[in-house]
Structure 1
């Protein structure tokens, strides 16, 4: 009986290499035909978003001054107390009301409007004409002016100039017109602050 051939070192090397190649293919296939991958998750730091603010503060009464204007003639303006003052034809009363406006926000503008200025019912009321002269130094358009936030200040006092005139009507004679109006007239005004687009001028 012929003995089996002896394995040479070269044959052993070749067999070992074939086994290693087969094992590598199995690892690449991931077993049952799937490919495994790694993943990781992490929460971001919390982000806080704060709201801005838009508000009107308490509007207090202001001082008044009077000037008589008839045609192109004007008297000097004199400060008066409206509670004790007695208005007559030709007089123009003027006051500056400081309106506290709060605007907080990077992109914020608002329209400040004297929405309604009126008199309570009285016979004197019909002789008086109230006018919003300016808001923040500008002539109002439809009673309003656009206000922008002031850097470094959340609340500013916006000056609103209001006048009340008693028309001089010397050319018209009225029956029984003795210039007597025994009652008073109470002026009331309502202010409205409304956000507008930051692009609005």
Structure 2
């Protein structure tokens, strides 16, 4: 009987070992860290815009009587303007656009000046990259652009009749410049 008991105990122990190890599996594992990839973003911004300086003044409005326009202008240093005067400023608007797929639109307009008869009488024109520019129709600029040539012209028209409502008034000019990122590839219609 001792042999049967020993065999039963050994069989029970073997079954216990099998049952106890049934939930545990052996597996292997390995972990490795890859090389560091540096990711840096591009940029899109204006530098300092100096459109408050460099203005010239010349009596040369398009509606002046024939032969009366001045041939040359003078540096504008806050002289009082009169009908027929044109103020002009030529500036390079500094731009930084970096990034392989960076593209933007450039827009400019006049910030609304104080409302009075002089403000209403003045007309403002722009040339961007040598082409007449209409506010509301931005142009496209791409990576590598470092400056945008802009000519601002503020005209006090001569007029065909007397208009004394613009005398002894003040107004101002302030430009508003905007860069807006757009996708590098246009949308498919």
Give the TM-score normalised by structure 2: 0.68
Taking a change above 3 Å as real, the CA distance of residues 94 and 47 of structure 1, as seen in their structure-2 partners, is same
1:146 maps to which of 140, 148, 151: 140
Distance in 2, Cα, partners of 1:76 & 1:199? 47
How many residues align? The count is: 155
Correspondence 1:91-110 to 2 at 5 A: 91-110=85-104
Q: Tell me the residue number matched to 1:165.
A: 155
The match for 1:58 is 48
Q: Mind listing any 5+ residue stretches in structure 1 that lack a counterpart?
A: 1-36
Larger radius of gyration: 1
Query: Secondary structure at 2:131's aligned position in 1?
Result: coil
Instruction: Write the mapping of 1:1-201 to structure 2, written as runs, cut at 5 A.
Output: 42-60=32-50, 61-67=52-58, 68-71=60-63, 74-83=69-78, 85-131=79-125, 133-140=126-133, 142-150=136-144, 156-170=146-160, 172-174=161-163, 177=164, 181-199=167-185
As a proportion of its length, which structure holds more strand?
1
Q: Deviations over 1:144-167 (max 9, x none)?
A: 2211122xxxx7232221111111
- Describe the shift of the 1:145–1:97 C-alpha distance in structure 2 as closer, same or farther (beyond 3 A): same
The runs of 5 or more residues in structure 2 that have no matched partner are 1-26
Q: TM-score, normalised by structure 1?
A: 0.64
Q: CA RMSD in A?
A: 2.8
